[in-house]
Amino acid sequence: MKLKLSESDSFMLAGESGPAVQMAMSILVRMSEIQGAEHLLSIVSSHIDSALYIGDSTLDYAERLVDLGAKVCVPTTLNVAGVDHHGWDRWAVPAEWAHKARRQMLAYKAMECKPTWTCAPYQTEERPSFGDQIAWGESSAVVFANSVLGARSERYPDLLDICAAITGRVPAIGLHLAENRAGQVLVRLKAISWDLLDSDEFYPVLGHQIGKLAGSRVVVLDAVGVNPSEDQLKALGAAMASSGSVALFHWVGLTPEASTIQDAFKGKAPEETIDVSLSDLAEARNDLSSCTSDRLDMVVLGSPHFSLNELKALVPLIEGRHCDSKVRFLVTTGRGVKLLAEEIGLLEVLLEFGAEITVDTCILTTPMLSSEIRSLMTNSAKYAYYAPGLLDREVVFGSTEACVESAVSGKIIKDDGLWVV
CB 218 within 8 A of CB 187: no
Residue type at 397?
A: F
375-419: per-residue pLDDT in tens? Answer: 999 999 999 999 999 999 999 999 999 999 999 999 999 989 889
CATH 3.40.50.10470 fits 288-419, yes or no: no
Helix (H, G, I), strand (E, B) or coil at 303: strand
The 8-class DSSP code of residue 122 comes to: G
CB 200 within 8 A of CB 400: yes
Q: How far apart are CA 58 and CA 159, in angstroms?
A: 8
CB 176 within 8 A of CB 62: no
pLDDT score at 421: 76
262-275: per-residue pLDDT in tens? Answer: 999 999 999 999 99
Q: Which of 62-71, 196-205, 222-231, 301-310 has the lowest mean pLDDT?
A: 222-231
The rounded mean pLDDT for the chain is 96
146-165: per-residue pLDDT in tens? Answer: 999 999 999 999 999 999 99
319-350: per-residue pLDDT in tens? Answer: 999 999 999 999 999 999 999 999 999 999 99
pLDDT score at 371: 95
Question: What's CA 366's distance to the chain center, in Å?
Answer: 16
Q: How far apart are CA 402 and CA 357, in angstroms?
A: 19
Q: What residues are paired with 189 via a beta bridge?
A: 276
CB 50 within 8 A of CB 113: no
Q: How far apart are CA 292 and CA 163, in angstroms?
A: 45
Is the pLDDT at 9 greater than 90? The verdict is yes
Helix (H, G, I), strand (E, B) or coil at 199: coil
Per-residue pLDDT band at 8 (split at 50, 70, 90): very high
pLDDT score at 125: 78
Torsion of CA 182, 188, 192, 196, to 10 degrees: -10
Would strands 272-277 and 185-190 be described as parallel, antiparallel, or unpaired?
parallel
pLDDT score at 183: 98
Q: How far apart are CA 155 and CA 218, in angstroms?
A: 13
The 8-class DSSP code of residue 344 comes to: T
pTM for the whole structure: 0.96
